[in-house]
Structure 1
Amino acid sequence: MATLTLTAVRTLTAVRADRLARRLGQLAVGLTLYGSSLALMVRAGLGVGPWDVLNQGLTRHLGLSMGAWVTVVGALVLLFWIPLRQRPGVGTVANVLTLGVAMDLTLDLLPAPHALLPRLALLAAGVLLNGLATGLYIGARLGPGPRDGLMTALHRRTGRSVRLIRTCIEVTVLAIGVLLGGDAGLGTVAYALAIGPLAQFFLPRCTVPGTETRIE
């Protein structure tokens, strides 16, 4: 009996180790693809998501690269977690450190096309890749990104719907970004309409089985 118990414990430990390795790998891939997807939408030049409208405006007024502002803004958003008593996880920290770097690297490697058709293709690819990346990094269940965590913390504290809180945050960020000179356009609308259904499609397909408990 003792031998069987020891064998079972070792097997369970090995399964958990393999699962954690998959989760960490999936997190890294998801965040890298997420940063690259943001760069694709920027290079399309047809408008970007609300947070990147803000990042573009900050870049134009204060310098630094867009990727650098992705990192800075992500870190600043984490400060709002403190009074909301939201706890960051491994994925939260990785989100702040990875997205901006991946975005800037992709921007450096990818030239901006001039013809409309390639720009539309880049936009579509960026939005689709963003949906997949969202499913991958959230499906790893290692902690939400700074912006997602702010949304869920406000939902928990205020009792307001996630939809209302998300809309208010996105509209506020978009308005500030537009005032700073960020690019809002077709891509902004396309992203707003598509990202929810895409995330809903990819998330159940990318969630690591047996990860109901999040490692922080």
Structure 2
Amino acid sequence: MDELMSASKEFFRQPLQMKREFSNLNDGEQFRAEGYGNDKVRSKDQILDWSDWIYLKVEPEDERNLALRPKHPSSFRDALHEFAVRCRRVKRDVLRAMARIAGLDDDDQHFVDQLGGRATVHARFNYYPPCPRADLVMGIKPHSDGTVITVLLVARGADGLQVLRYGVWYSVPSSSTHALLTNVGESTEVMSNGMFRSPVHRVVNSAEKERISLAMRSG
């Protein structure tokens, strides 16, 4: 975890020209999901999130686009691979526990099986720079994840994540050392018939501190 957060910080702190080598724009124009950049610009009146990200497919392994994987720092690729492998166990353990909570004691693989043999997993590294007028921007707009489950790693002491509950935004405390946050996706909400809810959440910016996180999105 420490190595991966350190590598991601080093990547985002590079000059813009170096990061653009892994741009999510083909020929500077055609948008694609994978790569470095930010929101797809759909209109001149669009309000963009105050964040940059690099979005990479990590599973299935034979579908990885290595051309979009940062080469600097040199530890980035290996650290991401090891983290992805270890996240598989976390994800499966959590989904099995959720199946037992749902009363599926004879089939605790229920939610795991929904992923299939070649489940898709994307890694989204998010960088939120400080903003002098943080009250006027949003790191990431309110949304819920359209996934089965998301495993979130946040740099130590990075506040900003908020969850909506009954019309009130609640701040999620910054993680302690080596903590992971698991987030239920919309697919699991449907599969569980609403027993597990996919929370609406957002990220607010700080005027003084940067924020870096990694979301491993499965399904």
Does TM-score exceed 0.5, indicating one fold?
Answer: no
Ranked by relative contact order (alpha carbons within 8 Å, sequence separation 6 or more), the top structure is 1
Q: Which has the higher helix share?
A: 1
Higher share in strand: 2
- The TM-score range, normalised by the shorter chain, is under 0.3
TM-score (norm 1): 0.24
Q: What TM-score do you get using the length of structure 2 for normalisation?
A: 0.24
